[in-house]
A = this chain, B = another copy of it.
Amino acid sequence: MRLIRSLTFRPASLVFALLAALPGLSFAAEAATAHRPATMADVLAQSKPSDWMPLDPQNTVYVELSSGRVVIELAPRFAPHHVESIKALARAGYFDGLAIDRVQDNFVAQWGDPEHAKPIPTASTLAAEFVTSARDLPFTLLPDPDTYASLVGFSSDFPAARDAKTERAWLVHCYGMVGVGRDNDVDSGNGTEIYVVIGHSPRQLDRNVTVVGRVVQGMELLSSLPRGTGALGFYESRTERVPLKSVRVAADVPEAQRTSLEVMRTDTQSFTDLIEARRNRRDPWYKVPAGRIDICNVPLPVRAAPAAARK
């Protein structure tokens, strides 16, 4: 059985050696160190201010529900035209008064214009942005094998995959990722209908949809919504729908009303330490450390920005 094991449990050191010549890649969790922080709490406690970066208000969107605010970080590097479209729609007030009309258990929560009644102030369709060029893309590689892609890791603070042969990269559908609904035509999306993953990562969607960002705060406001009882989890009556009070680009919101957040940079030793602490959990509860981690199980730390960092 040795051969099968070596196929499945590829030795990380071998992979690192083989990949070392690939440009644009950094490596997480590649070397054992004597004084590595043991747990995620240790990593966060020992992190430096430079390990963190503030969200860019120009690429952050606030979805205001009656239950609170959902904060979405947009990913213009991966979907520039869709991100621009969503910001234009938000700035035109397009989403205000629309509603979450679909919550399918273990899949997605989705909002848009269920009545198709509101005029769309932007392009009615956009060309698909399912994948992007991996050239010059910052990428911190996860050392563990993935079911769906040959290489997975993090680009800025987004989970992503890349293919060395085609030099393409794409965002992967982890919990909390945000994508753009479309019809059967790949170029039929425009950002007016948006979904958020609320269950086990539906990775079969990867490279089939334009992914535009991720929820960095407020996931529980979406994941705890009642599930729709109609086909595909659509709410069957209008009264079940969850109204969007407003959707705003953070930069357009008065500073005092913004949610000032920082995310951990993934190109740092602290993030590498965090991955290692989660690959091999070392708190007293865990008896069998996994020794590896799924891309969608790596936490991407978010914290309130220190007062000094706010502007």
A292 at the binding interface (Cβ < 8 Å): yes
A224 at the binding interface (Cβ < 8 Å): yes
Cβ distance A218 to chain B, nearest Cβ, rounded Å: 10
Most buried by B among A9, A200, A202: A200
Cβ distance A70 to chain B, nearest Cβ, rounded Å: 13
Closest chain B residue, CB of each to CB of A9: B150
Report Cα–Cα, A286/B185, bound state, in Å: 10
Cβ distance A89 to chain B, nearest Cβ, rounded Å: 23
Chain B contacts for A174, CB-based, 8 A: 200
Report Cα–Cα, A278/B204, bound state, in Å: 9
Q: Is the CB of B105 within 8 A of A223?
A: yes
- Interface-facing stretch out of A28-36, A115-123, A141-149, A244-252: A141-149
Chain B contacts for A175, CB-based, 8 A: 106, 199-200
Chain B contacts for A8, CB-based, 8 A: 10, 145-146, 150-151
* Other-chain residue from B19, B186, B297 in contact with A200 (beta carbon distance below 8 A): B297
Closest chain B residue, CB of each to CB of A182: B285
Q: Is the CB of A147 within 8 A of B293?
A: yes
Q: Is the CB of B165 within 8 A of A1?
A: yes
Cβ distance A25 to chain B, nearest Cβ, rounded Å: 12
Size of chain A's interface in residues, with CB distance under 8 A? 60
Q: Is the CB of A202 within 8 A of B106?
A: no
* Other-chain residue from B1, B15, B148, B294 in contact with A203 (beta carbon distance below 8 A): B294
* Other-chain residue from B7, B22, B224 in contact with A225 (beta carbon distance below 8 A): B224
Chain B contacts for A204, CB-based, 8 A: 278, 281, 286, 290, 293, 297
Report Cα–Cα, A203/B147, bound state, in Å: 14
Closest chain B residue, CB of each to CB of A226: B224
Closest chain B residue, CB of each to CB of A6: B7
Q: Is the CB of B4 within 8 A of A19?
A: yes
Q: Is the CB of B148 within 8 A of A292?
A: yes
* Other-chain residue from B1, B3, B227, B290 in contact with A206 (beta carbon distance below 8 A): B290
Chain B contacts for A200, CB-based, 8 A: 174-175, 199-201, 294, 296-297
Known: A4-B164, A200-B201, A220-B227. 14 other contacts (CB 8 A): A1-B22, A1-B164, A4-B18, A7-B15, A8-B145, A106-B175, A145-B145, A145-B147, A147-B294, A184-B284, A201-B294, A203-B290, A223-B227, A224-B225
